[in-house]
Amino acid sequence: MHKARNNSVEFEAALSEMGAKSVHVGMIDPEGEFRDKLVQADKAVKLAKSGYPFCEVLYFWDIAEKTYAESAFIDRPAEIFTDTLRLYPFSPASALCIADFSGEFGERSPRNLCLRLLDEADSMGFSVASAFEYEFFLFSETPETLKAKKYRDLTNFAQGNRTYSLQTSALHGELLDGLAQAMNAMEIKLDAIHTELGPGCFEVPLTYAKGIKSPDDAVLFKNFAKAYFSRNGLTAGFMSKLSPDLPGQSGHLHVSMRDRNGNPAFSDPDSPDGLSRTGRHFVGGLLKLMPEMLAMCSHTVNAYKRLVPGAWAPTAANWGVQNRTSAVRIINDSPEATRVEFRVPSADANPYLALSMCLGAGLYGIRNEIEPPAASDENFYLATPEPHAVFPSDLGQAAERLDRSVIAREIFGDAFVDSFVTGRRFEYREYQKQVSEWEIRRYLGIV
């Protein structure tokens, strides 16, 4: 269905109107990295018409580019999504667009999965809007200084930073304005930019967008924010948990839907909590499936260092209205803005996977009319959760639960689940081989 969204004639005309002489074509890998290839505009038009073969290695190596499969690493059929064309923010004569694998091999792609679930929502009578918000740390470091320091004793940017700090904004307003301008060039709207708790910590909520544009915006924001700050001699870190002494970095996801008449599908002003039957069933599906699908929105080893008690993050599937301690928070300030805030994903989550997980589970709940337990306004950080609601405690457990999930395979397909789980298992095995500084300090010379 999504192929119909591509139009090479309009693509060529748009490039000409933009004055773009070159195009940055980005394949988004499973970790959410924009794998950039720069081509001339005429070649981009040709590839949009004939296809864009790309090496399959993106699905056979880890985040450190270490391969974990025996393969010839051949080129697989792929396509350029011409409807993703945007200005490239660092050169007035360049554009950018997103490409992805097609056909059978493309079934393992997070973006293709997200498109399929958006199409499924449409077939059920719903249009989807969503927005991501990201916390990240800035360091006065470059790739060279990071390596020289072995990633230890780093210099934080804005070391005296406080939450919602006027001083930081006043001192570094030009830098922050530049970030907004770079994003605006790519038609990514920022709802706000503000400081967060911790030295050099910032939060940027993105303005909501419809359909696939929202996760596209999120992927581009993360990749190009890192590039923007690098151009300014800084390093942006979107890790889930940088230090036991600092809060974790979240990547909360807001999701709403409208019916075919344009009415907000999650809203019912006559219900006590303002949530419709459809909204309750969406929440019911998300709560039921969250623990077994957790690996999709928490797909790094580091993500599980944030999902622990005392770290300002959920550790079990629960929900509440306007409850910031819950995994699923219902925001019902007005009928039009009634939405689900999925508070489990970390800043390092692949946006396509986070939205696919949320949509897949929520639509499953609607189809099967799954009623959630009663909403609660208790402090879930201090509560004892029901055993079935508790999250897996590490990536290894989460990967195994996803692999065994019959419902996940029903929703996402065997090809995706098998490919994704293989990558997560390899990532966890690499972690298991490591010995941390904490272990050495704790045990050496004592045990």
The enclosing domain of 7 has a CATH number of: 3.10.20.70
Q: Which of 72, 106, 140 is the last residue of a domain?
A: 106
Q: Tell me: the pLDDT tens digits for 131-173?
A: 999 999 999 999 999 999 999 999 999 998 888 888 888 889 9
CA dihedral sign of residues 304, 308, 314, 316: positive
What does the pLDDT average to over 207-231? 98
Residue 127: phi, psi to the nearest 5? -100, 150
| ∠ Cα 233 84 2 (to 5°) | 140
Same domain, 146 and 252: yes
Q: 178: exposed, middle or buried (C-beta count within 10 Å: 0-12, 13-18, 19+)? A: middle
Mean pLDDT of 282-295: 98
In a domain, 275, yes or no: yes
Total count of domains within the chain? 2
What is the DSSP track for 164-205?
A: T-HHHHHHSHHHHHHHHHHHHHTT--BS--EE-SSTTEEEEE
In a domain, 76, yes or no: yes
Residues 372-416: pLDDT tens digits? 999 999 999 999 999 999 999 999 999 999 999 999 999 999 999
| pLDDT tens digit sequence for 50-60 | 999 999 999 99
Q: Which residues pair with 32 in a beta bridge?
A: none
Domain boundary among 77, 106, 135: 106
Instruction: Check: pTM over 0.85? Answer yes or no.
Output: yes
> Do 6 and 133 have their domain in common?
no
Measure Cα distances from 288 to 124, 191, 387, 388 in Å.
20, 31, 12, 9
Q: What is the pLDDT of residue 312?
A: 86
Phi-psi domain of 13 (left: phi exceeds 0; alpha: psi -120 through 50; beta: other):
alpha
Residue 230 lies in a domain: yes
Residue 113 lies in a domain: no
Range of the domain at 271: 121-429
Whether 148 and 257 share a structural domain: yes
Per-residue pLDDT, 165: 86
pLDDT bucket at 247, cuts 50 / 70 / 90: confident
Average pLDDT over residues 331-357: 97
Shared domain for 71 and 127, answered yes or no, is: no
- Structural domain includes residue 446: no
Same domain (yes/no): 150, 173: yes
Which neighbouring-strand residues pair with 101?
A: 78
pLDDT in tens, 363-381: 999 999 999 999 999 999 9
Q: What is the rounded CA–CA span in Å between residue 265 and residue 257?
A: 5
Residues 303 and 171 in one domain: yes
Q: What is the pLDDT of residue 5?
A: 57
Tens of pLDDT, residues 294-324:
999 999 999 999 999 888 899 999 999 999 9
* DSSP H or E run through 367: helix 351-367
Which residue type, as a one-letter code, is found at position 428?
A: Y
Joined tokens for residue 184: 């605006």
pLDDT score for 4: 42
228 and 93 within one domain: no
- Please state, rounded to an integer, the average pLDDT across all residues of the chain: 95
Cα separation of 195 and 166, whole Å?
9
Separation of alpha carbons 25 and 422, rounded Å:
27
Residue 141 lies in a domain: yes
Above pLDDT 90, what percent of the chain?
92
pLDDT at residue number 3: 44
Residue range 17-37: average pLDDT?
97
Of 34-43, 139-148, 158-167, 255-264, the least confident: 158-167
101 and 127 fall within a common domain = no
Examine the domain organization and report whether 292 and 406 are in the same domain: yes
pLDDT over 90 (residue 7): no
Domain boundary among 106, 131, 147: 106
pLDDT of 222 higher than 60:
yes
Of 307, 34, 337, 321, the residue nearest 191 (C-alpha)? 337
Do both 88 and 182 map to the same domain? no
Q: What would the mean pLDDT of 7-24 be, rounded to a whole number? A: 95
Average pLDDT score over residue span 215-219: 98
Q: What pLDDT is stored for residue 197 in this prediction?
A: 86
Q: What is the pLDDT of residue 151?
A: 94
pLDDT at 2: 45
Residue 443 located in a structural domain? no
Q: How does residue 341 score in pLDDT terms, banded at 50, 70 and 90?
A: very high
Pair 84, 140 in one domain: no
Residue 356 belongs to domain with CATH number: 3.30.590.10
Within this chain, do residues 384 and 249 fall inside the same structural domain, yes or no?
Answer: yes
Residue at 115 is within a domain: no
